[in-house]
Every structure is written in C-alpha cells, then in structure tokens.
Amino acid sequence: MSEQENATIRIHIMGKTYRVPAGLTIMDAMEYSGYRFIRGAGCRSGFCGACSTIYRREEDYRLQFALACQEMAEDGMYLVQLPFTPAPRSQYDLEKIDPTENVLLQYYPEIARCVSCNTCTKACPQDIEVMDYVQAALRGDIARTAALSFDCIQCGLCTMRCPADIKHYHMAQMARRIYGRYLSPVPEHLEEQLREIEEGVCDSELDKLVAMNEEELVLAYAARIREEE
C-alpha cells in the first residue's frame, strides 16, 4: 500500500477520540469507529436528509452543518450525530385548501417572525436559499416558494437553528403541494399520454423493457429520444 492509502486522521465523536482511514465520509468514519446507526441513516449515499450532522473543526469555534453520508471526514473534526427533527407540522386537507396568497401565513404564522438573519440558509446542506423562500411565502408568492425550496430534503437543520422557531421545511412542502395541485400548468401532452396509458398503447414497449437485461437497458437509455427544453 502507498503512504496515502495508509494515512489516517483523528476525529472526535461525542468527546472520544478515534483514528480512522483518510478519505471516508463522516458516516463511514463513525461506523469505522464502532458507532452503530440505529437511527439517523437512510439512503447512505444520496439525499434523504436522515443523517443531519453538526461538527466543529479544531481551532474554530463555529458550528458547521452537513449530511453525514456526503461530507468527508477531516482531521481534527468534532462530530455530533443528530436524531430526526420532529418539528410540529400544521394539519390540512389539500383538497380543501384555498390557494390564496395568505394560505401559507394562515397555516404557518410563525414565518411573520422572520428577522432575515439568514441562519437557515447557512445551515442548509443543500445550499438552498431558505430565507428567500420564507420571504416569498410572506409575500404570498406560492410559486416562487415552491421553486426555491424544490431541492429540500426535509433534514430539519434550518428549523433547529432558527431563532424565530420557523418550520421552514414543512411550510415549503405545503407550498410545493399547493403549487402542484392548483397552480402548476398542465403540460399539453400529459392528458394524451395518460389516455394512451389507459388504452394500453404503451404495454408492448413496457414488455420489451421488462425483457431486457442490464446491458440492453443501459444501451436503450443512452439512445433514448430527449424532449427539447
């Protein structure tokens, strides 16, 4: 093995020091140290939001925020794994919602307490402009709230850090649901496509795909016809 492959780093988990191989994610480094994930681990290499993590670097008093399965472990890291974030969520029936400008404020009145400190944005591991979509919600702009929050994975770090106790991610999820149900334009070809599916027009193509092996599927995917944007 090369010297680089043999390299280790020092991390601190809940106050105890461990040495782990360099090049591991925070999640992998914690498991290498013997930490067993009973909660707080979901997709393990995607973006499900389950592995919210707070850490601090040596010689730096500031807290940093990340997803443990994405962020690489660094020498001298102080790590704390967080449980899920059970922020209260407003109850509503989407089919009975009146999609007016004030509907988000009605169900999440705490957004009016936003002091524009931008702490929520700084805490977001997805680099989403969280404060901007809260301000859009305050203005009654449901479409912009939905668009800006589209990549949210519900990890809850924004809410943990908010001094105004705003449930950003629940509010944004409501905005996306309202937009999808009431405000999103229907693509011109959607109804025709749904009709064709009901009539079985696509059955033969589906049967062909099901019969393909992995290599054939890869080739078919690469050769697919893409719609113009």
**More confident call, 50 vs 174:** 174
Picking from 22, 159, 8, the residue whose alpha carbon sits closest to that of residue 82 is 159
Q: Has residue 229 got a pLDDT over 60?
A: no
Which CATH number describes the domain made up of 94-183?
A: 1.10.1060.10
Q: Give the domain ranges of the chain.
A: 8-81, 94-183, 190-219
H/E run at residue 29: helix 26-32
What one-letter code names the amino acid at 214? E
Res 227: pLDDT: 67
Residue 183 has pLDDT above 70, yes or no: yes
Please check whether the two domains, 8-81 and 94-183, share a CATH topology.
Answer: no
Distance in angstroms (rounded) separating the CA atoms of residues 17 and 27: 15
Given a contact cutoff of 8 angstroms between Cβ atoms, the answer to whether 81 and 12 are in contact is no
How many other C-beta atoms can be found within 10 angstroms of the C-beta atom of residue 66?
A: 20
Residue, of 63 and 40, whose pLDDT is higher: 63
Angle between the 130-138 and 168-178 helix axes, to the nearest 10 degrees? 60
d(CA 122, CA 65): 8
What's the pTM value of the predicted model, to 2 decimals? Answer: 0.70
Fold of the domain built from segment(s) 8-81: Ubiquitin-like (UB roll) (3.10.20)
